[in-house]
Structures are given as C-alpha cells and as structure tokens.
C-alpha cells in the first residue's frame, strides 16, 4: 500500500521509518505547509513525491492511504481533505480536538464509505493484543490504573504548552490512559477529575476517576511536570495483569492469579511499534472494511467525549 504522510514532525518520521520494517506498505509522498519542509522530510526519509500543501497530497493519484500527523488542531481539517478525496485515513491521536470534530469525521467517512481509524498505535501491539486475551481469565474487572507523565521544560513556544497547538497533558499524554481504560471497560457512566493548569493555561496535570455501571473504577493520571512510572494494571476478582512502563509501548506483561505464581510475558519487537497500526490498515482495506474492530470509530468518539468531560471540570 502506498502511503502519503501529512506532516513532517517527529511522529511522521517514526511512522515512515517503522514502515520499512513491514511489507504491508511504503511511504511514497509527503505533504507540508511549505515546499522546504516537505523537501527536508522527503530527503531524510527517501521519498520521491513531496507536496507544498495538504490539498495536493490528498489529490495525489499515487497515494492509496493518508496518515495525518499534523499538529492536533489540524487533524480535523486535514482528515476531511483526505476523506473527501476518497482516501482511506489514519489519524494520529488525539483523533481531534473534541468530540464534535470526531463525530463529523466519522459521519463523512461513513457517508462516503471510506476507511477511517485513529492511530492509537498501542492497540495494535502484539503485547496489548495478548493482554486483551488474558483479561478473560482474571474474573470480573474491578479496577484499572494507568499513568503517563513526562517532564517538559516550561517553554511557551513548545506545542505541549501552546493553547493554539492543542497543548496540554490530557490530549497528548492522557489520551493513552483514557484509551486504555476504554479498551478494558468501555465508556464510563461517571467522571470525576482534577485539572491543574500549566503556566500558559493548558492542563499541566490531570487526574481522573472513571466509574462504570458494573461498579468498576479506573484511576488515571497524566502530567507534563514529571517522568512517572508509566505503568498500567487491570485488577480482577481472580487475578491481575500488570504492564511495565512504558505501558503504551512494547512492554513486559505479568499475569498474577489470585492464588498462584505470576507468569511473565516478555515483549520482542523491532522499531518503535508504529508499523502494527499500518499493518492493520492494510489488512482491513484488503478485506474491504471501512473501520477496525480493534479501534472502532464509535469508541474513538466515546474517548473524545470522556476527555471533553474531564476538561469541562477544570
């Protein structure tokens, strides 16, 4: 499959590099807001086709699918460009800035019968697929915990502190913990959050307790102020699953029964793990699907709704 990449930042480069580890696709084109930026990225990765606008990339007849890796506020308009051009689209997380934008993208994709998926790459890692299989053996899930904290120097120009670029801990880091809880427990029925702002006004640290109809709870945290263990756990009545940090990347998984010895599952991988989401897109397109059962569009919208509700309590 021939990929076109919108954006020339770090995640775009990681995606293009990881694609070299798989035979499901290759990057053939890049689009940016300037020719110079597109040329720099293309020269570094080894891409022949480079476009000075996102519109030109979306219209490129040699592009089979588009990966949107632009800043958060551009995900919605850039994905719309590609969808309206009839291109299957993989949108970097967070999917959009809010649930309203997410619902519009899903509607356009479904109305036009075009593939669309959120690039929550953690979902497609072999280790996390194994975790989903293990959940059935730990009884009723009682608690999910996950944290994602990274330290960033305070810089008003850095995208994580810039309101205009969709900065803040929740959209960039917290989306991992919210998505993890959603994978295990679905949509919450109750949301309680504490949000502490950074110096620019974006959320600098956010903690959440999510409640579910089953009585289960998820305790989730994210912060821009410190490097946390970035671990996750799923605790059930018959055992628990613990994922070493960083839980969102290929990591060691430990299954401990309520009465019994732990079993450790080591992760073996190449690259940064992004190739698995590209493989999923290729697999689904080959099957004629318009979305992935591992990251359904309705769940992506639900995750955005949860994050909207968390920030509304700020």
From the list 93, 107, 190, 227, the catalytic residue is 93
> What's the maximum distance between 2 C-alpha atoms anywhere in the chain?
61
Q: Residues with Cβ < 8 Å from 174, sequence gap 6 or more?
A: 148, 206, 208, 220, 222, 307, 310
Q: Where are the alpha helices (DSSP H) in the chain?
A: 10-19, 35-45, 54-59, 75-84, 99-111, 126-135, 169, 175-185, 275-286, 297-312
Backbone angles phi, psi at 134, to 5 degrees: -70, -25
Backbone angles phi, psi at 5, to 5 degrees: -110, 125
Question: Is there a catalytic annotation at residue 93?
Answer: yes
**How many Å apart are CA 290 and CA 67, to the nearest integer?**
15
Residue 280 · residue 294 · CB < 8 Å: yes
Residue 177 · residue 148 · CB < 8 Å: yes
SS3 of 66, please? strand
- Which residues carry out catalysis? 93
């Amino acid at each position: 499959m021939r990929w076109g990449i919108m954006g020339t930042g770090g995640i775009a480069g990681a995606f293009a590099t990881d694609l070299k580890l798989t035979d499901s696709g290759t990057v053939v084109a890049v689009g940016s807001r300037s020719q110079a930026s597109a040329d720099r990225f293309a020269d570094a990765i080894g891409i022949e086709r480079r476009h000075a606008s996102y519109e030109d990339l979306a219209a490129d007849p040699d592009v089979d699918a588009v990966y949107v890796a632009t800043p958060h506020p551009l995900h919605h308009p850039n994905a719309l460009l590609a969808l309206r051009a009839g291109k299957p689209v993989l949108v970097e997380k967070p999917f959009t800035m809010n649930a309203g934008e997410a619902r519009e993208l899903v509607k356009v994709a479904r109305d036009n019968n075009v593939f669309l998926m959120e690039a929550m790459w953690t979902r497609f890692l072999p280790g996390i697929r194994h975790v989903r299989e293990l959940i059935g053996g730990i009884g009723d899930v009682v608690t999910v915990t996950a944290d994602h904290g990274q330290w960033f120097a305070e810089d008003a120009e850095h995208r994580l502190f810039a309101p205009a670029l969709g900065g803040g801990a929740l959209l960039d880091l917290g989306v991992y913990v919210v998505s993890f809880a959603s994978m295990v427990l679905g949509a919450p029925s109750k949301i309680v959050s504490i949000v502490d702002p950074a110096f620019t006004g974006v959320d600098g640290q956010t903690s959440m307790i999510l409640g579910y109809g089953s009585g289960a709870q998820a305790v989730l945290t994210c912060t821009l102020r410190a490097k946390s263990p970035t671990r996750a756990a799923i605790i059930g009545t018959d055992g628990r699953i613990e994922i070493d940090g960083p839980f969102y990347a290929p990591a060691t998984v430990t299954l401990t029964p309520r009465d019994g010895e732990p079993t450790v599952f080591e992760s073996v991988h190449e690259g940064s793990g992004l190739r698995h989401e590209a493989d999923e897109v290729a697999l689904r397109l080959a099957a004629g699907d318009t979305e992935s059962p591992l990251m359904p569009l309705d769940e992506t919208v639900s995750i955005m709704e949860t994050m909207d509700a968390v920030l509304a309590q700020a």
